Chain A
Amino acid sequence: MKCILNTGRTVPQGVSVEHKGADVYRTIASSCFLNPVDMMILGIEDGDRIRVTTPTGHIVLTARPAEGVARNEIFVAIGPYANHIISSETHGTGMPDFKSQRVDVEPTKEPLKSVGELMEAIGGLRYDHT
């Protein structure tokens, strides 16, 4: 399903933002909110995994229903999960398309990655401390 990826702050994201190695942060930053009708069309339930793909790459997220999210839009809290697939193009402004990345959403059984795994995928080495 073709969608627009919207990102933003949430209270749970803010509360756990200095604990990025913690499981609670992973759960919050990897939750993807979809319109319930879109979830029905995709054939997925609350808590199912989805694979979100852009020309930059793909990421596995957990689907959550949200009435307030418009059809063909998905919402993910700002953080390393959304940024894993957002293009670094800034159109000469310095600002990437954090709220208007075109994505493709499909159901998947693949597992979620941790923040440490995402950073290690780009050459980092995690330091465990929550």
Chain B
Amino acid sequence: MIIHDVICPFCGCLCDDLELECEGGKIIKVQNGCALAESTFMTDTRLPAPIRRTESGWEEISYNEAIKETAEILQGADRPLLYGWSSTHGEAQSVGVHIAELIGAVIDNTSTVCHGPSILAIQEVGHPGCTLGQVKNRADVIIYWGCNPIEAHPRHMSRYTTYATGFFVPDAQRERTVIVVDTRRTDTAGIADEFVQIEHGGDYAVLSALRAIVRGKASVIPAKVAGVSKEQLIRIAEICKTAKFGAIFFGLGLTMSRGKYKNIRNAIELTDELNRHTKFVISPLRGHGNVYGSNEVFTWMTGYPFAVDFARGIAFYNPGETTAVDILRRGECDAALIVASDPGANFPRAAAAHLAKIPTVVIDPHVNATTALARIHIPCTAAGIDAAGTAYRMDGVPIRLKKVIDRGYPDDAEILKKIYDRLNGGKGP
């Protein structure tokens, strides 16, 4: 059987044009997808049943037992942390927020170590963005700043930018100018019309220099800024000013480097400056499939996009204090529920180490590094493979993930609802 228009849940592109061939309850072929999509659908190995760590090793337990013990762990905790949420659907995310509110937990999502700083900058100065469809159909200048879509979002260039035929850009490869700014000469840099190689940590200075040039103050710029020549900066500024429609996409090269959210603020303000000359937009290249959705769901339920602390009985948000890495680093939480993510692999060691010191429960389809740090791991469906649900693309467009096969696992939203029911004396959210 061939299933058309399947959505790949791996990265923030949420490509919606895949064709899957299924036979006997298994996916046997993936068409139109990138290498990441192919491995997502084809090599989907799962933890067979819930497991619990005992003094003598791991033992299999029933779902009921695992859910009961998880509820007891959360009920008994003074400062529980609920973390993850990016690789599942909005339905599970919303139950997570209900649990956090009920037990006074901190709930944080993976944008905390991804585009959290981008959100902080957007809260300061706004987000002049647009949907990817607008970029595809209109943009004649594309800037990839501190990101490497060939590796992280392999079809971004073919679906929306460099190689995508647009309504007003019929001959994309000739008509679109692609500028790449990075400290590394990546594969993406290799296909750019202009590659700007900046010294490590120089993003803020280069963005400031470009803002000055666009403002007509090129005379104040020195011969080199963070390793970039003044001539190249002036050339880039001119390409941008004369664009019909420009689009900046930025990645973790800006959010994780020195300056963090201030880099993004500067990039947004450059975009603002360019809008005095032409139309320019800026957007983050969001990573995990539905990480944007976790920001959306958290925001419409609590008012805040990540790092939400319910300890006071109301939603409180203070990144740097209520963010997962900081809470773990300080050894503050006394229980953790990790859903659809892997902080064991993706957090600095000192933060991950705290997970092994407290009762940690993982709800995730796959065995990952956090499994080793957990007391209980409960396997579930994978959103977009054997569970349907809502996910948000990197440009904020909600897309319905399809259930393409049934593997007999419970949906993580169902597991979370049962945990909520136990915490709430049998009354659902």
In the bound assembly, the distance between CA atoms of A120 and B372 in angstroms comes to 7
Contact of B113 among A9, A73, A98, A124 (CB under 8 A): A98
- Kindly state whether residue B75 has any CB partner on chain A within 8 Å: no
- Kindly state whether residue A123 has any CB partner on chain B within 8 Å: yes
In the bound assembly, the distance between CA atoms of A57 and B148 in angstroms comes to 29
Q: How far is the CB of A38 from chain B (nearest CB, A)?
A: 14
Q: Do B356 and A123 touch (CB < 8 A)? A: yes
Instruction: Please tell me which stretch of B251-259, B398-406, B409-417 contacts chain A, meaning at least 4 of its Cβ atoms lie within 8 angstroms of it.
Output: B251-259
In the bound assembly, the distance between CA atoms of A30 and B165 in angstroms comes to 39
Known contacts A11-B154, A96-B325; decide if A126 and B112 are in contact (CB<8 Å). no
Proximity bits, A25-58, B CB within 8 Å = 1, else 0? 0000100000000000000000000000000110
Q: Do B184 and A68 touch (CB < 8 A)? A: yes
Proximity bits, A68-90, B CB within 8 Å = 1, else 0? 11100101001110011111111
Known contacts A94-B320, A95-B116; decide if A88 and B325 are in contact (CB<8 Å). yes
- B189 partner residues in chain A, CB cutoff 8 A: 68
- Kindly state whether residue A115 has any CB partner on chain B within 8 Å: yes
28 of the cross-chain contacts (CB-CB < 8 Å) are A7-B256, A8-B148, A8-B252, A9-B152, A15-B36, A15-B38, A20-B369, A68-B185, A70-B199, A70-B200, A73-B183, A79-B345, A83-B347, A83-B352, A84-B349, A87-B348, A90-B326, A90-B329, A91-B260, A92-B321, A93-B319, A95-B323, A96-B113, A97-B258, A118-B369, A123-B357, A124-B373, A129-B45
Residue of A nearest to B116 (CB): A94
Number of contacting residues on B, CB 8 A?
77
Q: Do A19 and B342 touch (CB < 8 A)? A: no
Residue of B nearest to A123 (CB): B356
Q: Do A127 and B367 touch (CB < 8 A)? A: yes
Q: Do B257 and A99 touch (CB < 8 A)? A: yes
- Kindly state whether residue B43 has any CB partner on chain A within 8 Å: yes
Proximity bits, A87-130, B CB within 8 Å = 1, else 0? 11111111111111000000000000001101110111111011
Known contacts A11-B154, A75-B184, A83-B347; decide if A19 and B45 are in contact (CB<8 Å). yes
Q: Do B112 and A95 touch (CB < 8 A)? A: yes
In the A-B complex, the 4 residue pairs with the smallest Cβ-Cβ separation, listed nearest first, are: A94-B323, A123-B356, A68-B185, A124-B372
Q: How far is the CB of A109 from chain B (nearest CB, A)?
A: 23
In the bound assembly, the distance between CA atoms of A114 and B312 in angstroms comes to 41
Contact of B326 among A14, A94, A122 (CB under 8 A): A94
Taking A16-B39, A125-B53, A127-B372 as given, write out 11 further A-B residue pairs in contact, using a Cβ cutoff of 8 Å, ordered by the A residue number: A20-B345, A20-B369, A67-B185, A73-B183, A90-B326, A95-B323, A96-B325, A120-B372, A123-B357, A124-B372, A127-B51
Proximity bits, B111-151, A CB within 8 Å = 1, else 0? 01100110010000000000000000000000000001011
Residue of A nearest to B366 (CB): A18
- Kindly state whether residue B79 has any CB partner on chain A within 8 Å: no
- Kindly state whether residue B167 has any CB partner on chain A within 8 Å: no
In the bound assembly, the distance between CA atoms of A79 and B11 in angstroms comes to 17
Q: Do A127 and B257 touch (CB < 8 A)? A: no
Q: Do B372 and A116 touch (CB < 8 A)? A: yes
In the bound assembly, the distance between CA atoms of A98 and B210 in angstroms comes to 26
Known contacts A20-B368, A88-B351, A94-B323; decide if A127 and B58 are in contact (CB<8 Å). yes
- Kindly state whether residue A6 has any CB partner on chain B within 8 Å: yes
Contact of B349 among A16, A69, A78, A86 (CB under 8 A): A86
Q: Do B151 and A95 touch (CB < 8 A)? A: no
Q: Do B252 and A90 touch (CB < 8 A)? A: no
- A69 partner residues in chain B, CB cutoff 8 A: 184-185
- A14 partner residues in chain B, CB cutoff 8 A: 10-11, 35-36, 39, 151-152
Q: Do A95 and B113 touch (CB < 8 A)? A: yes
Contact of B344 among A7, A66, A124 (CB under 8 A): A124
